[in-house]
Chain A
Amino acid sequence: MNDARANILRRLRSNNITLENDAAHSSTASLANRPIDSYWNKQQQIEHLTQNMQAVRTEVHHLSNGDWLDWLKRELPVRGFKQVLVGDNETGNRVIQSMEDSLKISRYDRQIENWKSELFQDVDVGITTTLGAVAETGSLILWPDKAEPRLMSLVPPVHVALLNANHIVDTFSEAITKLNWVDKTPTNALLISGPSKTSDIEQTLAFGIHGPRQLIVLIFDHK
């Protein structure tokens, strides 16, 4: 297959394309979808984010510091969930410590191969943290890692995401800079903007085709 590589590269190099100046130096830094001088303040960010997320049927709750735990404690049993999945981290610990006995809580602390069918068949809710969110598009930013693996936000029918209001940015571009995305290169990074959906049958919107049917975002203000 080395021939293929060499042949392709040779053909590509045999036509030297000269760009007009604009295209050669185009920068996406100025590509904001709104005037550059109108950065949103925190309240506006929360408003835009909430509006955009609700438009695609995401459930959003604004909570004050620490209240997210109370919310989970109150709401999860009421909604009839039986098995909750948390991460192998401090957030997971806090959930485990505060939940009633009626809920089974699993911690994602094993390799997937050891419990794949349980994850796929039994878990109702996955609770994850987020790195932040993009207000303009209504997107959560997740970099799944050792403590909160990739399938947590994908396989359970319900995904509860915890979002610190201070970590909301205006745009995806801004997030790339702020999170030092280029240098860190996470294994997997995600923008999640709602529950799983499809319009493949007659363009009729239906939720929960493969990923979570429900996305619940708990925004808390952490000083």
Chain B
Amino acid sequence: MHQTEAFQHRINKALNNQQVRQNIRSVMSSLMLKRANQFPDSEKLELQRTQAQEIRQRALANQADLLEQLEQKLTDNGIEVHWAETAQQANEIIYSILKSANATSVVKGKSMVSEEIGLNQYLESRQIDILESDLGEFIIQLAHEPPSHIVVPAIHKNRKEVAELFHQHFPELSYTEDVDELTLMARKILRQKFEQADAGISGVNFAVAETGTLCLVENEGNGRLSTTAPDLHIAVTGIEKVVEKLSDVPHLLNMLTKSATGQPITTYFNMISKPRQPGEKDGPRAVHLVLVDNGRSRIRLDNELLDTLRCIRCGSCINHCPVYVQLGGHAYGTTYPGPIGSVLEPQLSGIDKLGTLTSACSLCGACGEACPVKIPLPKLINRLRAESVNATYHDSKTPGTGSMRSFSQTLAWKCWQFIYATPFAYRLFSWVATRFSFLTPNHLGGWTKYRTLPKPARKTLSQLVKQEGFANE
């Protein structure tokens, strides 16, 4: 199967990159520790997670009404709202806004939706000069790589790699591996761009329907600069980011920053409700919001899968995933890696394209426990596995259901069922296994690459209990 082979290829490549694995292990350990320090009381954490879950559930339940209210409020505030059903539509809308404003240079704040829709490539191919301004995004843009994590996108690179990258692109600046100096360098380079850019593009963390407010969470100030310094600001966001009330925001913000990076709050929480008003001296004169569906409203049709949409993109599930820590983000080959990616991406692109991602999970449950809005990620991964081999599963709307069913696998599970559901068959099976355990091969696929093969005992427990005088009813 093509997607599976491609995934296996990326997995092998990732596992062989010891440097990246070390980088990621050390960062993930530190992020987990920082988060844990923010939630010292586990009972309180449960309550906080439940409350965050309820806020998000309420928003999703009333999503259509809230989006209409958001549109109305934003329009009243002077912000223009656009709707895009697909990635293509979203890109076209953004390009046409830029074009009619004669904007050719863009600074961009971090936005995962823009990665999802491939905005940079779309605009670059139309001669728009687009610059990522978040330091991590800036680094990977220089390297022509996708992000490897949704919160810390360049975490797979160490300082030496960053230093070389900067030196290669800006030979006029002297080579340094000092993080403070590298940061200062980036400041200088990007400053000029902020000053000159025609437009800024940003994502949105929460869109408040009640007030028509776009909220952005960040530490660097590039988000504020992108949304304030140029004369045009385009915000792009998934339709699931709408929340009902302003009073919903403090708790979500609290859970977001603590779960993401273990910070009680980020440096900047930026709430934008209007373009520059008469008499105001800065800020963009025009602000647009592009609401992107790209499969989300279809996911919402399924009462189990819609939990996926509760996500606030904190990356905590990724930080806690024992598979991600081995692979890093690039092995997944998708915008969103780790547990949330393995749940969201097959739904967005189809099981026939990305269903194989769900195999990279031991169902250990660490992600579900770390999720600040209690998305049952292991349950959803398991559900998607069921869909991947069953075309009619629960009338699923996910594209490509059943596409991963194979004859040999199905046959193997049928045999397994026969053995374990038929007492005679099981007795025969265990009789053979115990008597002829010396026949167990020494090599069995990937298992024996890392382990020996377990041998059946001489007598099964079922046989032993009778000798020991235990009752059977």
Grouping DSSP codes into helix (H, G, I), strand (E, B) and loop, the B interface class, with mixed when no group exceeds half, is helix
B250 CB-CB contact with A under 8 Å: yes
| Interface-central residue, B82, B153, B183, by most chain A CB under 10 Å | B183
Residue pair A176, B246 in contact (C-beta under 8 Å): yes
Seen from chain B, the residues whose Cβ lies within 8 Å of a Cβ on chain A are 23, 26-27, 30-31, 48, 51, 53-55, 57-58, 60-61, 63-64, 67-68, 77, 82-85, 89, 93, 133-136, 139, 152-155, 157-159, 162, 179-180, 182-184, 186-187, 190-191, 194-195, 210-213, 219-222, 224-225, 228-229, 231, 239, 245-251, 253-254, 261, 264-277, 279-283, 291, 293, 297-298, 300-301, 303, 306
Residue pair A201, B179 in contact (C-beta under 8 Å): yes
- Complex: chain A residue closest to B138, CB-CB: A200
Q: How large is the interface on A (under 10, 10 to 19, 20 to 34, 35 or more residues)?
A: 35 or more
Residue pair B155, A203 in contact (C-beta under 8 Å): yes
Shortest beta-carbon contacts, A-B, top 8? A211-B221, A200-B136, A26-B54, A210-B221, A11-B297, A191-B269, A206-B183, A12-B64
Say whether, besides A15-B300, A26-B58, A210-B220, A120 and B195 are in contact (CB < 8 Å).
yes
A4 to chain B, nearest CB (A): 4
Say whether, besides A13-B64, A176-B250, A193-B265, A187 and B89 are in contact (CB < 8 Å).
no
Q: List 27 A-B contacts (CB under 8 A).
A: A4-B85, A12-B300, A15-B306, A19-B61, A23-B54, A23-B61, A26-B51, A27-B247, A31-B250, A31-B251, A111-B281, A137-B265, A139-B265, A155-B225, A171-B250, A172-B250, A181-B211, A182-B246, A188-B272, A190-B224, A190-B270, A199-B261, A201-B183, A206-B182, A207-B183, A210-B221, A210-B225
Say whether, besides A19-B58, A187-B277, A191-B265, A208 and B187 are in contact (CB < 8 Å).
yes
Chain A residues whose C-beta falls within 8 Å of the C-beta of B246 in the assembled complex: 176, 181-182
Residue pair A210, B54 in contact (C-beta under 8 Å): no
Whole-angstrom CA separation of A24 from B269 in the bound complex: 27
- Complex: chain B residue closest to A211, CB-CB: B221
Whole-angstrom CA separation of A38 from B172 in the bound complex: 57
- Complex: chain B residue closest to A3, CB-CB: B85
Chain A residues whose C-beta falls within 8 Å of the C-beta of B220 in the assembled complex: 196-198, 209-211
Given A146-B280, A149-B281, 5 more A-B residue pairs with CB atoms under 8 Å apart are A28-B55, A109-B281, A181-B211, A201-B135, A210-B220
Residue pair A9, B282 in contact (C-beta under 8 Å): no
Chain B residues whose C-beta falls within 8 Å of the C-beta of A173 in the assembled complex: 247, 250-251
Whole-angstrom CA separation of A26 from B281 in the bound complex: 40
- Complex: chain B residue closest to A22, CB-CB: B54
A92 CB-CB contact with B under 8 Å: no
B371 to chain A, nearest CB (A): 16
Interface flags, A1-31, vs B, CB<8A=1, else 0: 1011101110111110111001110111101
Whole-angstrom CA separation of A9 from B67 in the bound complex: 8
Chain B residues whose C-beta falls within 8 Å of the C-beta of A176 in the assembled complex: 246-247, 249-250
Say whether, besides A1-B93, A150-B283, A200 and B154 are in contact (CB < 8 Å).
yes
